[in-house]
Amino acid sequence: MTRSFFQYPTGLVGWALLLLRLSVAAALAVGATLAAAPWVEWPVLLIVAMLVLGALTRIAGACGLIAAALIGADIGGQLGLFALLHGLASLALSMIGAGGYSIDARIFGRKVIALE
């Protein structure tokens, strides 16, 4: 049986990936404001911008996981756990990809991958 799917899907799946990117970016931005370490803000701001635009999303997602883990360790307690859980969403985003509504889709194009 042959199935085909787009590497950068549009439609409801594309919108869902856009919402996932925005929610992870918002959680990282809020976590950076709660962290006590002043060095956290600029790298997280860069990661947030990459996630919102959908540029190098897989790399930004992996960096978001690292940033969320560092923010969670810095904050501690229940808010730290909250940041770490959003880091897992960031990991999921890096594994899935950006979706059709992203800069990645514009740069690398939508390709059909056939599974045989």
The per-residue pLDDT for range 3-44, each reduced to its tens digit, is 545 567 677 888 888 888 899 999 888 888 887 778 888 889
Question: Residue 47: what pLDDT?
Answer: 92
**What is the rounded CA–CA span in Å between residue 28 and residue 22?**
10
Assess contact for 96 and 17: CB atoms under 8 A. yes
Assess contact for 72 and 31: CB atoms under 8 A. yes
Indicate if the pLDDT at residue 114 is higher than 80: no
The per-residue pLDDT for range 62-98, each reduced to its tens digit, is 999 999 998 888 888 888 888 888 889 899 888 887 8
Return the ∠ at Cα 63 (arms to 60 and 66), rounded to 5°. 155
**What is the rounded CA–CA span in Å between residue 52 and residue 63?**
14
Question: pTM of the prediction?
Answer: 0.77
